[in-house]
Amino acid sequence: MTRILVLNGPNLGRLGTREPEIYGSETLADIEASLSASLPSGVELDFRQTDDEATLIGWLHEAADAVSPVILNPAAFTHYSYAVRDACQMVTGAGAVLIEVHLSNPHARETFRHTSVITGAATGVIAGLGAQSYHLALSHILTLLERH
């Protein structure tokens, strides 16, 4: 069984009611359900959310140790957390894929969102496509798993 970690940072547990004009009306549970609906056998999703930096870092260590693929929406940590970035580097350094995803397009928003300290440690980034950002990241990881 291959486990794909889908990790969500601060305030993403409020999706549905949080700035729906930017993030849409889907909740995180809706996104989890739609991602889980299209899984092939032998693959499981481990979908988590935290508002806590240390918890997120612990989950990334777990992914590095298990060499698990990760879909990560670092939320506001994207823009300033070198600690989350270093943990992402451990995941990709261990040989696992880590796709940074964003619902919105941070580059089309406030200036402080234009910088991601995470991207340099990620395998790739998908942003601005709403929940589709997660779906495309999952589809990429499933393609890689098929090739192995």
Which residues are near ligand DQA by CB under 6 A?
11, 73, 75-76, 78, 102-104, 106, 113
Considering the complex, state which of residue 7 and residue 91 has its C-beta at the smaller distance from ligand DQA: 7
Q: How many CA atoms lie within 13 A of 89 on its CB side?
A: 10
Q: At what angle do helices 132-146 and 28-36 cross, to 10 degrees?
A: 30
CB of 76 to ligand DQA, least distance (A): 4
What are the counts of helices (DSSP H) followed by strands (DSSP E) for the chain?
5, 5
Please say whether the beta carbons of 2 and 43 come within 8 A.
yes
Please say whether the beta carbons of 137 and 71 come within 8 A.
yes
Considering the complex, state which of residue 34 and residue 104 has its C-beta at the smaller distance from ligand DQA: 104
Exactly one of 61, 82, 102, 135 is catalytic; which is it? 102
**Has 102 been annotated as catalytic?**
yes
Considering the complex, state which of residue 43 and residue 132 has its C-beta at the smaller distance from ligand DQA: 132
CB of 101 to ligand DQA, least distance (A): 7
- The Cα 53–Cα 93 span in angstroms is 20
Exactly one of 23, 61, 140, 148 is catalytic; which is it? 23
CB of 119 to ligand DQA, least distance (A): 12
Question: Which residues are catalytic, by number?
Answer: 23, 102
